[in-house]
Amino acid sequence: MTEEPAARKRARLEKMKGRHRAKIEILNEILNWIELGKNFEDIQHHCSLSIDYHDMQVEVIKEQIRSLFHVEQNENEDA
């Protein structure tokens, strides 16, 4: 009985597939840039901006989640 349930396996594989799909899209974009004649510095700058933008989005989402919990705590304290 050490085998994990099929639903859990399927969910884990779907998650992996999503990550690989995102990597493939990024690599395809880089290949397109190379075909367009972009140099390494331009590609690196574009990737850095994408990563910075992603990090910023993550921080915004984290802050929104924190504020949800702070509002909930404040409501509980007021009651």
CA distance 11 to 24: 20
- 16-69: per-residue pLDDT in tens? 777 778 778 878 887 888 888 878 787 777 777 777 777 888 888 888 888 888
| pLDDT reported for residue 69 | 81
| pLDDT reported for residue 47 | 72
The model's pTM is 0.39
Other beta carbons less than 10 A from residue 28's beta carbon: 10
Angle 70-74-77 (CA atoms, 0-180°, nearest 5)?
140
Q: Residue 17 carries which side chain, given as an amino acid letter?
A: K
Rg (CA), the chain: 21
